[in-house]
Amino acid sequence: MGSCKYCGAGAGLLRKFHAECQQKYDAGWKLMTSAAAEAARSGDGLEALETSVMKIAESSYIPMSRTKEALAQGWEGALNSFLEDNVLSEEEEKRLMAFAEKFALSQEQLNTNSAYTRAAMAGVLRDVLHGKVPSRVKVDGELPFNLQKPESLVWFFKDVPYYEEKTRRSFVGSSEGISVRVMKGVYYRMGGFKGHPVETSQMEHADTGALGVTTKHLYFAGARKSFRIPYTKIVTFTPYSDGVGVCRDAATARPQVFVSGEGWFIYNLVKNLAQQ
């Protein structure tokens, strides 16, 4: 007979837990995270929150070691609520940072689902929209770009797939005329072949590398391709769910696409930087 992983009592043959214990655990976890989210949103009740969360954990078979995880999940819930309007105000950011500091939540703990990264992105966008130069990005080691003066790094992406539009040309057509039998199994076609060239365009993976967004340029550094694109030379920006496409101001320019993973962020970032 197995023991319930929650209460420790006998659970029955081939059973790992009691259904009522599982329900109590789930309800307790929901209470913990919702209480944390509300405190992070409002900025109130932080002093009493930790005691409240620990009491819920104790009465719901939740290990005390998971209280930090519940607080971090509540922080993420508050962030998602703040970002419903796609804007993170300074006051909202202060509440989130005060909550994280109060409970000693690390960036790693808050970034389990990339929540901390999304908060930083929202803060960078707000700074740019207000005409400020963000200084939130720290890169380990040396940058693979030679920045010009004066310009500042605003954001840095690693392992970004880069695509270029390529045109393929093929010759298609059909033969015309009639077939005349010369001998058994041998025919001769009278007539000719008419054809015409057909061009098709498609995006092809050109390289994967680092993508830097600065106050003046887009930088890309890969194993096969490295280049810099001034914002003043970009005619159009195309938003994608997972990246951004640009087209330069040149007669032979073709679309270039960078798959950064956060399309809403990089599109709004480079578009607003280009307008400054």
| DSSP codes, 43-74 | ---HHHHHHHHHHHHHHTT--GGGHHHHHHHH
Average pLDDT over residues 121-130: 94
Please tell me the CATH code under which domain 153-165+203-275 is placed: 2.30.29.30
pLDDT at 39 over 80: yes
Closest CA to 69 of 111, 39, 27: 111
Contact 238, 246 (CB under 8 A): yes
Beta bridge partners of residue 174, listed in sequence order:
194
What is the rounded distance in angstroms from the CA atom of residue 160 to the CA atom of residue 181? 61
pLDDT, residue 171, reads 65
**DSSP strand E in the chain: where?**
2-3, 10-12, 153-175, 178-183, 186-190, 193-214, 217-222, 226-230, 234-240, 243-248, 256-258
The string of pLDDT tens digits covering residues 47-75 is 999 999 999 999 999 999 999 999 999 99
Considering only residues 188 and 266, tell me which one the structure prediction assigns the higher pLDDT: 266
pLDDT, residue 192, reads 57
pLDDT at 88 over 90: yes
> DSSP assignment, residue 91?
H
Q: Where are the domains of the chain?
A: 2-129, 153-165+203-275
What is the rounded distance in angstroms from the CA atom of residue 160 to the CA atom of residue 260? 5
The overall average pLDDT reported for the chain is: 89
Considering only residues 15 and 80, tell me which one the structure prediction assigns the higher pLDDT: 80
What is the rounded distance in angstroms from the CA atom of residue 23 to the CA atom of residue 17? 10
Backbone phi, psi, residue 71, to 5°: -65, -40
- Tell me how far the alpha carbon of residue 205 is from its chain's centroid: 19
Ramachandran sector of residue 234 (left: φ over 0; alpha: ψ -120 to 50; beta: rest): beta
What is the rounded distance in angstroms from the CA atom of residue 45 to the CA atom of residue 102? 11
pLDDT at 174 over 70: no
Contact 90, 96 (CB under 8 A): no
Residue 262: count of CB within 10 angstroms of its CB? 19
Q: Where are the alpha helices (DSSP H) in 83-188?
A: 90-102, 107-110, 115-129
What is the sign, positive or negative, of the torsion defined by CA atoms of 176, 182, 184, 185? negative
